[in-house]
């Protein structure tokens, strides 16, 4: 695949799971990265369309407040057959400021049976008109802002019948989701759950669906007695109706925006935990009950930590639930966070990476997002940049600065990848689709900007300002200015410059840095150093930045810190130096700048930086630069880094080994073999194993691989299996067959990886059966593509034809956009493989075997027809963008 294409793959991966927490596992997934090559794509055309589309965006005003929704009471039950909700809503209002005689509510695709005014004496019907998106109600009189009134609505919500652009049901914003509603799908539980953000809760209850609205709520959920339910606030009562149903009554007495309302029901095990005297519960499928504590167990400690920094957790309880076929990563519904199924992991799976960042992110929203809410989606960074930085803060507190700064590194890459094709204001009032706000600007860039602000004002001022911001604005919605004002009040300093540069403008500094040391003849004035920095960004598009930063000057272990303020395009700072030529001049010594940089620095300085500069980002940068060197001393430092205290450095150093000189092959082999078996971190053992497979394909390594096959990490054992089958096909297939019946999803994916390349046609059954045993969308996505690749190797046209409904069913019906994309990719690859087969049957334009050639063409056209039909039905912009089908 080509480089430009990989960019787009990354874009799609970054957009993956957009509603609250973008989940980026797929970006690390090699399968995704190589497969897209099969999809027709014109990058230039795409970029052109895309940049045109973003230039023409309209201004997005905050929702105009006419009536204030004070309280929502819902009584709901479900029609599983039709996937509908029957609801009775009692809503309390008062005019926001000006008197009014009418009320407009968001209510998408309902059947409305009745709308009445509720008074002390009973109900009196109100006149209304309904356009299937909003209902316009004529009140009985004009109300003033001191007068409350109540409206009753009897309705049916029909999320499956919602239309998107004249096409079929919207899969990603229908608000209410029935999973396996008729219990016909094997291995899948029946569930119902909701997803409100951004404006989808009005698909299941009438409301003012805007982030600057705020209400208290009660929900009565009537459901099969076998199910448990979860909603916001506290479970006040649970009443058995004696007819096989039960009514659970949930009540939240603190106001929150309507998009944060949720419900979920299904057969969950509830793992009970607590923080102080508050309930902290984890709802998982019964099979994962025993892992509940391992998955969520740090939640009480996070509550403690965040409360100590930002004021006590404000809400009545904290529950988290994991549901099937979720359309996003996770959602911070007030007191009831909802997660996708990927969160359910066994203890062994967690060795290859857990989801603690997601858990801290959603919890942090309960201060930034739920307690203080962005006034409009234009201000979304006030929710998402904070939640992203919450991940950093938790890591820093729990695991130290290295683990936290590793997160910063990831944020920078995420933002820069997006910045290649799209740069925009962080707070942006002009956008096409509000869903577009959930991008790497709002998350990754914003998180880094908050980190810079912290480094500028200092920790004390940073936390005091945020505490003040929360205290002043709690239970209200805010714009970016409220944040600035809180910082200004605490620090006593005008901060417009910082907020204008970073929140209200686009782009980032592109710095060129060089240093020059001068010996002075004059012993009185001493030696000095010139540090010259140029801001090379195009200042017609991005600001000329004012950047305060630190410069550390090293002589051995001794460090002298200076602060400089860069505020010109081309600027030289002259700093005094004592002790001769420094061993290292470390510009941006806190490594906090959100920028790209070219730095003129000697190799010896990077060596010094690796050994003496304190931060993960110092060491990571140093070995990355040293890897470019062929010098033996640089090689020795990389070898040294194999013992770094932080795992990511050890893992990166393995990758850099091949380019370093001065180390014997035997020395490297011994060290890396040892790491592949004994490093404490699974990710490092995996990197070591990958390195060995690539560089030491000798038979004698089989012993290491067979030991690694027994590793506690699935990632490591899967790599070992791949290595073994590559060196000894029979042996590897033998191991794979022994694992075929495993109940573990990760093992199935490993086996599929082997069969994709080496399995005979008798493995068809394994693929057909295996898929239904998977839960995690990452596994499912991989498996779909592995199955397609397995089929691409076969000459059995019937087998391929048998498989087509499998792929098209996923491409058409899966809830998750990337799964539908996976189904389409699987088909597109099969189509292209047939095309290639037909090409291969030609020599100098002449067809060698006409029958075989025509068969391949016929099959190619059949699959091509299916792909076209599926693409025409697809409405999700992310899938279409990925396929290069255009904006709308
Ligand atoms: Zn979020």
For the stretch 552-592, pLDDT in tens is: 999 999 999 999 999 999 999 999 999 899 999 999 999 99
Q: Which residue has the tokens 């973003």?
A: 54
CA of 451 to the centre of ligand 1 (A): 17
Six token digits for residue 579: 């002790």
> Residue 167's pLDDT is what?
43
CA of 197 to the centre of ligand 1 (A): 10
CB contact at 8 A, 255 and 293? no
**pTM (2 decimals)?**
0.90
CA of 300 to the centre of ligand 1 (A): 19
Number of neighbouring beta carbons within 10 Å of residue 616: 24
CA of 776 to the centre of ligand 1 (A): 20
Q: How far apart are CA 239 and CA 243, in angstroms?
A: 11
What is the Cα 870 distance to its own chain's centre? 26
CA of 308 to the centre of ligand 1 (A): 21
Six token digits for residue 715: 């990632």
Q: Phi and psi for 258 in degrees, rounded to 5?
A: -60, -30
Among residues of the chain, what percentage have pLDDT more than 70?
92
**Predicted confidence (pLDDT) at residue 73 exceeds the cutoff of 50:** yes
CA–CA distances in Å: residue 375 to residues 210, 290, 429: 8, 41, 12
CA of 388 to the centre of ligand 1 (A): 7
pLDDT digits (tens, 9 = 90+) for 743-784: 788 889 989 999 999 999 999 999 988 898 888 888 899 999
CB contact at 8 A, 747 and 737? no
CA of 66 to the centre of ligand 1 (A): 29
pLDDT digits (tens, 9 = 90+) for 601-660: 999 999 999 999 999 999 999 999 999 988 889 999 999 999 999 999 999 999 999 655
CA–CA distances in Å: residue 579 to residues 526, 528, 560: 9, 10, 11
Q: Which residue has the tokens 């589309």?
A: 53
Q: What is the DSSP string of 146-169?
A: T--EEEEEEEEE-GGG--BTTBS-
Average pLDDT, the chain: 91
- Enumerate residues 6+ apart whose C-beta is below 8 A from 71: 91, 92, 215, 216, 217, 218
CA of 714 to the centre of ligand 1 (A): 29
CA of 16 to the centre of ligand 1 (A): 13
Of the candidate ranges 19-23, 299-303, 860-864, the one whose mean pLDDT is the lowest: 19-23
Of the candidate ranges 406-420, 426-440, 529-543, the one whose mean pLDDT is the lowest: 426-440
CA of 18 to the centre of ligand 1 (A): 9
**Predicted confidence (pLDDT) at residue 24 exceeds the cutoff of 50:** no
Q: What confidence category does residue 38 fall into, taking pLDDT thresholds of 50, 70 and 90?
A: very low
Instruction: Count Cβ atoms within 10 A of the Cβ of residue 81 and give its class: 0-12 exposed, 13-18 middle, 19 or more buried.
Output: exposed
CA of 216 to the centre of ligand 1 (A): 22
The one-character DSSP state at 532 is E
- Mean pLDDT computed over 224-235: 98
Q: How far apart are CA 205 and CA 321, in angstroms?
A: 21
3-state secondary structure at position 448: helix
Q: What confidence category does residue 879 fall into, taking pLDDT thresholds of 50, 70 and 90?
A: confident
Note the residue count of the chain: 888
- Mean pLDDT computed over 795-824: 91
Q: What confidence category does residue 742 fall into, taking pLDDT thresholds of 50, 70 and 90?
A: confident
> Residue 5's pLDDT is what?
29
CA of 62 to the centre of ligand 1 (A): 20
CA of 172 to the centre of ligand 1 (A): 17
| C-alpha torsion 309→312→316→321, nearest 10 | 10
**Predicted confidence (pLDDT) at residue 39 exceeds the cutoff of 60:** no
> Residue 49's pLDDT is what?
64
CB contact at 8 A, 251 and 234? yes
**Predicted confidence (pLDDT) at residue 530 exceeds the cutoff of 50:** yes
176-179 and 245-256 strand pairing: unpaired
pLDDT digits (tens, 9 = 90+) for 420-465: 989 999 999 999 889 889 999 999 999 999 999 999 999 999 999 9
């Amino acid at each position: 695949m080509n480089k430009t294409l990989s960019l787009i793959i990354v874009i799609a991966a970054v957009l993956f799971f957009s509603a609250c927490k973008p989940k980026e596992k797929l970006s690390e997934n090699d399968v995704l990265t190589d497969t897209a090559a099969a999809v027709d794509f014109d990058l230039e055309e795409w970029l052109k369309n895309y940049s045109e589309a973003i230039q023409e965006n309209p201004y997005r005003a905050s929702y105009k407040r006419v009536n204030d929704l004070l309280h929502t009471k819902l009584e709901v039950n479900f029609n599983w057959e039709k996937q509908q909700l029957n609801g009775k809503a009692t809503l309390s209002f008062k005019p926001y400021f000006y008197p009014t005689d009418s009320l407009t509510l968001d209510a998408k695709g309902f059947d409305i049976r009745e709308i009445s005014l509720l008074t002390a004496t009973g109900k009196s019907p109100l006149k209304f008109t309904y356009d299937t998106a909003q209902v316009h109600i004529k009140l009985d009189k004009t109300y003033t802002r001191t007068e409350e009134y109540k409206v009753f609505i009897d309705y049916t919500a029909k999320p499956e019948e919602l239309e998107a652009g004249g096409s079929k049901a919207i899969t990603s914003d229908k608000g209410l989701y029935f999973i396996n509603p008729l219990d016909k799908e094997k291995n899948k539980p029946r569930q119902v759950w909701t997803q409100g953000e951004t404006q989808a809760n009005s698909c299941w209850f009438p409301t003012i669906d805007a982030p600057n609205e705020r209400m208290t709520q009660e929900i009565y959920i009537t459901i099969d007695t076998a199910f448990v339910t979860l909603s916001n606030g506290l479970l006040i009562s649970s009443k058995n109706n004696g007819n096989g149903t039960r009514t659970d009554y949930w009540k939240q007495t603190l106001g929150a925006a309507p998009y944060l309302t949720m419900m979920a029901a299904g057969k969950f095990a509830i793992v009970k935990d607590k923080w102080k005297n508050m309930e902290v519960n984890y709802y998982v499928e019964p099979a994962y009950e025993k892992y509940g504590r391992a998955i969520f167990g740090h939640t009480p400690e996070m509550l403690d930590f965040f409360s100590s920094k930002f004021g006590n957790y404000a809400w009545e309880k904290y529950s988290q639930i994991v549901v099937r076929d979720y359309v996003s990563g996770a959602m911070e519904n007030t007191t009831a966070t909802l997660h996708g199924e990927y969160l359910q992991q066994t203890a062994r799976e967690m060795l290859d990476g857990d989801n603690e960042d997601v858990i801290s992110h959603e919890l942090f929203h309960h201060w930034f997002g739920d307690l203080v809410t962005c006034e409009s989606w234009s201000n979304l960074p006030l929710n998402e940049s904070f939640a992203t930085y919450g991940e950093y803060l938790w890591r820093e507190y729990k695991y130290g600065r290295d683990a936290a700064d590793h997160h910063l590194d990831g944020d920078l890459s995420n933002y820069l990848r997006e910045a290649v094709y799209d740069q925009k204001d962080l707070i942006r009032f002009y956008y096409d689709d509000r869903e577009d706000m959930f991008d790497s600007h709002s998350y990754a860039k914003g998180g880094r900007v908050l980190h810079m602000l912290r480094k500028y004002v200092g920790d004390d001022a940073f936390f005091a300002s945020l505490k003040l911001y929360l205290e002043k604005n709690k239970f209200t919605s805010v714009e970016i200015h409220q944040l600035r004002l809180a910082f200004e009040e605490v620090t006593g300093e005008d901060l417009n410059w910082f907020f204008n540069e970073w929140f209200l403008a686009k782009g980032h500094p592109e710095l060129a840095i060089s240093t020059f040391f001068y010996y002075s003849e004059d012993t009185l004035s001493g030696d000095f150093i010139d540090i010259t920095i140029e801001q090379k960004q195009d200042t017609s598009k991005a600001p000329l930045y004012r950047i305060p930063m630190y410069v550390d000057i090293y002589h051995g272990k001794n460090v002298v810190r200076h602060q400089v303020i860069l505020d010109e395009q081309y600027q030289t700072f002259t700093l005094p130096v004592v002790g001769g030529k420094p061993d290292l001049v470390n510009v941006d010594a806190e490594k906090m700048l959100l920028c790209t940089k070219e730095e003129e620095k000697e190799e010896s300085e990077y060596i010094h930086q690796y050994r003496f500069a304190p931060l993960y980002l110092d060491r990571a940068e140093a070995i990355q630069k040293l890897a470019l060197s062929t010098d033996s001393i640089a090689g020795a430092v990389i070898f040294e880094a194999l013992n770094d205290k932080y795992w990511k450095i050890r893992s990166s150093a393995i990758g850099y080994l091949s380019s370093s000189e001065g180390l014997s092959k035997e020395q490297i082999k011994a060290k890396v073999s040892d790491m592949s078996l004994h490093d404490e971190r699974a990710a490092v053992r995996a990197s070591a194993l990958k390195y060995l497979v690539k560089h030491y394909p000798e038979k004698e390594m089989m012993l290491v691989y067979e030991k690694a096959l027994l590793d506690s990490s699935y990632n490591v054992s899967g790599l070992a299996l791949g290595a073994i089958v590559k060196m000894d096909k029979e042996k590897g297939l033998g191991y794979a067959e022994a694992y075929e019946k495993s109940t573990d999803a990760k093992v199935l994916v490993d086996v599929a990886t082997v069969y994709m390349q080496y399995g005979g046609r008798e493995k068809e059954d394994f693929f057909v059966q295996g898929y239904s045993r998977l839960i995690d969308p990452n596994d499912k996505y991989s498996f779909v593509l592995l199955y397609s690749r397995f089929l691409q190797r076969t000459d059995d046209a019937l087998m391929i034809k048998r498989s087509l409904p499998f792929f098209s069913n996923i491409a058409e019906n899966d809830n998750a956009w990337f799964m539908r994309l996976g189904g389409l990719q699987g088909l597109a690859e099969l189509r292209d493989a047939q095309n290639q087969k037909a090409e291969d049957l030609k020599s100098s334009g002449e067809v060698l075997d006409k029958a075989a050639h025509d068969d391949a063409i016929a099959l190619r056209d059949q699959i091509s027809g299916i792909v076209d039909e599926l693409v025409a039905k697809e409405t999700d912009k992310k899938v279409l963008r990925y396929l290069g089908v255009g904006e709308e």
